[in-house]
Structure 1
């Protein structure tokens, strides 16, 4: 069995206020209308990374492989598409907690097929991109809350989500 990764317990919401020193993402540069195109543009980079011969290999025991990062990103697309749906359909929804580290272990990200993950990631990214593309102009400030109390709007949820996708592309050098 693959060595478990140390859970990431950082609260990454600070990326909405200042640049990420690791990947260079700056939320202030994100226009809501650009989120769908950015999500779609990430897919070929993920597909290329997943086609590498070493996509299943961890660069070190404490760092996810490309397929593990991609499986996580696939699930991020699904989770954030659903969270956006909740923001648009409910008044100030409270999002269910998602333990990404537990999901990685339970779903055995380390054993998933890179080709299958590539297809699933592309589909999930397209579904989320379509949902963001359909946000009415007057709905970008609708609120929602994460289970830890962090507050988002449709706009900041999109920025936060896009950072996750961009950051993990940086993680896999794609």
Structure 2
């Protein structure tokens, strides 16, 4: 069964704490983003070893395996977007249809241990990239395909909320997130 697409605009999570997961992305300082990427992706190493990793808790909610594949792709996409912000004036991000990617890439059929390794590799690369952002570059701007504006800083904060929220979705940390 197909997942119902999440059509919410989550950019507000940069400005205030998320009531579903409790994460306050806007409170994370620039210099902490790289370390936070690693901290928020490390639990996937255990999540993806669960016996029921491929089981959906509900037919219309991703399994932990599917969420894990999404997290891997999030880290890869955000690395591309960070490079764009750092190298292009007024960067424009291409649209990324997460649900189409999940279906086309067959998230549910992927090997959980491969996904775990891919998450670790993608997160380490992304953390290094964020640690290397020059002080003068944190305010560089770009636009998402829907017109939402990001800076290097707010893109990183937005990323961190996504990573934190999905840990709650798969019950890897306490919280109140509704699956989406």
Fold conserved (TM > 0.5)? yes
Matches of 1:124 and 1:115 in 2, distance apart? Answer: 14
Quote the residue 2:29 is aligned against. 31
Q: How far is the alpha carbon of 1:28 from its aligned partner?
A: 2.6
Quote the residue 1:10 is aligned against. 8
Q: How far is the alpha carbon of 1:44 from its aligned partner?
A: 2.6
Alignment deviations for residues 17-64 of structure 1 (CA, whole Å, 9 cap, x no partner):
111011101123201111111111123301101011011100111110
**149, 168, 171: which is aligned to 1:170?**
168
* 1:75 is the counterpart of 2:73: yes
Alignment deviations for residues 111-149 of structure 1 (CA, whole Å, 9 cap, x no partner):
111001000011111111111110001100000100110
Quote the residue 1:66 is aligned against. 64
Gaps of 5+ in 2: 173-180
Corresponding residue SS for 1:34: helix
Gaps of 5+ in 1: none
Quote the residue 1:112 is aligned against. 110
Matches of 2:96 and 2:25 in 1, distance apart? Answer: 22
Quote the residue 2:149 is aligned against. 151
Quote the residue 1:92 is aligned against. 90
Corresponding residue SS for 2:7: coil
4+ residue stretches of structure 1 with deviation over 6 A? none
CA RMSD, aligned part only? 0.7
Tell me whether 28-37 or 117-126 shows the greater mean CA deviation: 28-37
Matches of 1:77 and 1:156 in 2, distance apart? Answer: 15
